[in-house]
Structure 1
C-alpha cells in the first residue's frame, strides 16, 4: 500500500508533466508539498485524502478539473493509453444512450430535450440526429443541460452545428499543451437530421452543469443562438487526462484549454452565466413560458 507521501508525489509528478499552464506547476507543487511536510495529510486516507488534496489544489490553482478522485472499485494502475481511455468513454456513452435521457412535446409545440452527457461525434451522431429529428417540427426547443456533467468537444461542436445554417461558423479552439497545437472547431457540413433554424432555442443550466455541457451552453450563448435559463454553471473548461495513482485513486490533469472565437476566453472557474437567472428547479417552467410568449 503506497504511503500518502508516495500518492501525493505521484499525483504532483503527473500535474507537473501535463498541466496546461506549465507556469503554474511550481506554485502548485510547492503548496502541496509544504502541507505534506507539515503533516496536513498524515491522518487522512481514502476519499477524505482525495477531497482534502483536491481542495488544496484548487485553493492554489482554481481549476475545477484539477482533482484527486477516489473509486470504490479497484482499477488497474497501468498507464491508460489514449485508445483504452477512449474505449472506456465510448462504452460509458453507449450504456447511457449517448447521453440523451428523453424528448417530450410540451404545450404550444415546444420541444424539451434532456441531455445528460455530450456524446462522441462519431458513435453518437445517429442518436443525436434521432433526437433532433423528433424536435424538427417544434416551434421552439429547450435543450436541458441541468444534469449534463461533461463529454466530448467534438460532440459539443456537433450539437451546436444543428443551430447554425452551414459549416461556416468557427465555434471555438482548443490549445493542447503536449503538442503546442491548436485545433479549430467549426460547425459540421453534414448532419443526420435537419438543422434547427429560425426558431427560439433555450438552454437550461444548473450548478451541476459541467465541462462539455458548459461548452454547448457557452458557445450557443456567445454566438447569440440561444437564451440560457437557470443557474451559473460549475466552471470547468479544460479538457482533461485521467491517470491512476493507486488501485483506488486517480489524478485528473487538465492538458488543454478552450478558447471561444467570440469572447477570446472561456468559462473556467467562473461558470457560464445564464441570461435569465432562476433556480434550476424552476428553469424549465421559466423557459417554457418565455417560449410560449415568443411563439404565440
Structure 2
C-alpha cells in the first residue's frame, strides 16, 4: 500500500508541475496511473494504488520540470522502479504511428516458396543432424495456411534426421498461438500436456495452452535428441517455447541466457497527449515451475557464447549417439566382473532398464555422463567403489637413497609411547608388498622398534584410505604368535572364479608383537579399502578391540576397465572377502566394538588401556 501511494503521489506531484510549466493537461498523471492499473500483467504489485489516488491529488508540491522527453524519462524511471519491472516504460513520441500486425499477403505459390525459404534456414549436418533456424514464430492460423509448403520445404526433410538442432538465437518475435503448435511436434499425441498458462490482464482471463492432439505432418517424437540454441537476443514467444521444452525435459538448451522480455507488450496512448506507456499486458505462468521466464530470462543447460552454441550442440549430439553403447558395455563389464556375481548381474539388468527409460538422454558432456553413470551405479549397487574410474597413472618408480627412505618413512608413519607404556602407531595408507619388502628393515628400525616393547598398542587407522591389500597378510602376522599358520581370510576372485586363502606368514622382518598383549584399532568413516580388510580380519579373529566409527564400506582395490573403445573407464571391485563366516564388510563397513566419535576414539582407547594396565599391576 505504501509503495503504491508513493508511486501515485510522485506521479501526481509531477503532474502539478507539468501543468504549471508545460502544455501538458493536468489529467496526464492520473491517466497514466489508470493505464498501468488496468493493464499491467501483475496486478498484485499494484495493490492499493486505486484507493491512494484521491489522497495523492491533494499534493501541490512544485518541482522545476524540463521538457517532455525528460518528463517521460523521469516518469518511466518512477513507474518502472515502483513496480520493479524494467519493461514498464513511458515515452514521448509525437510522431508515433502504431505498428500494424504483419499479414501474409496472397502470393502465388512460387513467390510464397521464396518468402519461406528466405525466412527459414535448413541444413542436414554431418552425422544426420538436422538444423533449423527460424527468426519469427508463426501463429497457428498462418502456419495452417502455409502448412503444406512448410511440410514439403522443411519438415519432411528434418523428420528422418537422428537429432535436431533448433536455432532460436535470433528469434525476437512471434505469435502466442504458435507456442503449442511448435511444442506439440516434440511431444506425444496422447495424453495431452498442459504446456503453459497465459494470463491476460485487460480481459482478466487465463488461457491454458495445451499440446495438440492432431498436427499437420508427423511428430518428431520424444526420443531423438533436441537441442535449442538460445542467446540474449532470444525474446518473447521464443523464450516461452524454450522454457516450456526445457521444463518438459524434452530439450537441452545451449547458449546464453535469454533476454527476459515479455510474452505480450502493448504501447498505450496516455489520454490525448503524445505520451505513451509500454506495459506488459499478459504473462506466462508455467504449470511445472509455477513461475515465469519473463524479466529473469531462460537459463541454458550449457552456457557458452552464442557464436559457439552450434559447435557445442553438435558435440552434445555426437556424445549422445555414443551413450547407449557405453552404458550397454558398462553393464556387460559389471555382469562379468563384479565381485558379487548375483549383484553384478542384477545391477547390469537395472542399468539397461535405466538406459531404456531415458535416464541418460540429457547428458551434455563426457563429465556429465561419468557423473550420471557413477550415481546410477552407486544407487543400484549400494557400492561406493563401483564407479567411473580414473586412468591417472601412478608416479614412475624413483631411485631412493637409504637416507631418502628414512625421511619418507618418518613422514608416512607416526609413533609415540604414552603413559603406562602404551604404544601408538598411525599410518594413513597401505603400501604394495613388493614395494615395501625392500625397505622392510628400515621400517622395522625406524618405526616398529619404537612400539615393539610396549605393554599395549593402539593402531590409528582413522585416516587410512586403504591401498593395495598385498601387505595385509604380513602386517596381520605381527600380531599372532609364530609356529602356527592361521587362516586370516578367504578371498574370492571373480575374474578367475577362484577362492584364495589368505594365510599368516611364517617369516617376518623383525620380531612379532605376539597375541598376548592388548591391541586396539581406531577407525572412522574414512577408514577404507585395505585398512578395512585388516580391521575385518583382526575383529573376526578376536585379536583386537575396535573403537571409533563404522568404516567406509568400500572394497578391495578395484580393477579399472576401459568401456569399449571409449575414453570412459570403470572401476569395478573384482575381489571380495569370504562371506561364509558372516556379513561382508564391502558396501556395509565394519562396526566398532565401542562406537564413539572419531575424534574421541584415541582418548577412549587410552582411558581403557590405562585402567586395564594399572589394574593388572
TM-score interval for Structure 1 and Structure 2 normalised by the shorter chain: 0.7 to 0.9
Which one has a bigger Cα radius of gyration? 2
1:256 aligns with 2:568: no
Q: Using the alignment, how far apart are the partners of 1:26 and 1:259 within structure 2?
A: 19
Aligned equivalents of 1:45, 1:142: Cα separation in 2: 47
Q: Alignment partner for residue 141 of structure 1, among 435, 451, 457?
A: 457
Find the aligned partners of 2:396 and 2:466 in 1 and give their Cα distance. 13
Contact kept in structure 2, 1:129 and 1:191, CA below 8 Å: no
Matches within 5 A, 1:256-295: 256-259=575-578, 263-295=581-613
Query: What secondary structure sits across from 2:470 in the alignment?
Result: helix
Looking at structure 1, the residues matched to 582 and 609 of structure 2 have their Cα atoms a distance apart, in angstroms, of 30
What TM-score does the superposition give when structure 2 sets the normalisation length?
Answer: 0.42
Q: Measure the CA separation in 1 of the matches of 2:568 and 2:418.
A: 44
Task: Count matched residues.
Answer: 280
Q: Does 1:215 align with 2:215?
A: no
Once the two structures are superposed, the pairs formed by residues 125-274 of structure 1 within 5 Å of their partners are 125=437, 126=440, 128-130=443-445, 131-166=447-482, 167-197=484-514, 198-245=516-563, 249-259=568-578, 263-274=581-592
* CA shift digits 1:49-97 (9 cap, x unpaired): 434322322322223321113x5xx75xxxxxxxxx8xx49959x9975
Change (3 A) 1:283 1:32: same
- 2:395 and 2:536 map into 1 onto residues whose CA distance is 23
Q: 1:38: which partner in 2?
A: 357
Q: 1:52 to 1:91 in 2, by over 3 A?
A: farther
Q: How does 1:104-143 map to 2 (within 5 A)?
A: 104-125=416-437, 126=440, 128-130=443-445, 131-143=447-459
- Alignment partner, residue 82 of structure 1: none
TM-score (norm: length of structure 1) = 0.82
Change (3 A) 1:99 1:14: farther
- The Cα RMSD (Å) is 3.0
Q: Work out the CA distance in 1 between the residues paired with 2:379 and 2:550.
A: 20
Q: Is 1:50 the counterpart of 2:365 in the alignment?
A: no
Structure 2 gaps, min length 5: 1-317
Higher relative contact order (CA 8 A, sep 6+): 1
State the SS of the aligned residue for 2:528: coil
| CA distance in 2: counterparts of 1:222 and 1:140, whole angstroms | 20
Separation (CA, whole Å) in 1 of partners of 2:411 and 2:461? 10
Unaligned runs of 5+ in 1: 76-84
Q: Check conservation: 2:547, 2:596, Cα contact below 8 A.
A: yes
Q: Alpha carbons of 1:141 and 1:14: their partners in 2 closer, same or farther (altered >3 Å)?
A: same
Distance of aligned partners of 1:229 and 1:62 in 2 relative to their CA distance in 1, 3 Å threshold: same
Which of 15, 26, 29 is 2:334 aligned to? 15
Give the superposition deviation at 1:99.
9.4
1:61 aligns with 2:376: no
CA distance in 2, matches of 1:260, 1:189: 26
Q: For the residues of structure 2 that align with 1:8 and 1:206, how far apart are their CA atoms?
A: 34
Distance verdict in 2 for CA 1:137–1:178, change over 3 Å: same
CA distance in 2, matches of 1:124, 1:29: 38
Q: Note the C-alpha offset of 1:129.
A: 3.3
Deviation at 1:147, TM superposition (A): 1.3
Deviation string, structure 1 residues 106-150 (Cα, Å, up to 9, x no partner): 233222211212222332240553432221112211111111122
Task: Give the Å deviation of 1:202.
Answer: 0.8
- The more displaced of 145-154 and 213-222 is 145-154
Kept in 2, the 8 Å contact 1:90–1:120? The answer is no
| DSSP-derived class of the 1:148 partner | coil
**Distance (whole Å) between structure 2 residues aligned to residue 201 and residue 229 of structure 1:** 11
CA distance in 1, matches of 2:512, 2:535: 17
Distance of 1:113 and 1:248 partners within structure 2: 41
SS at 2:435's partner residue? coil
Tell me the SS of whatever aligns to 1:154.
Answer: coil
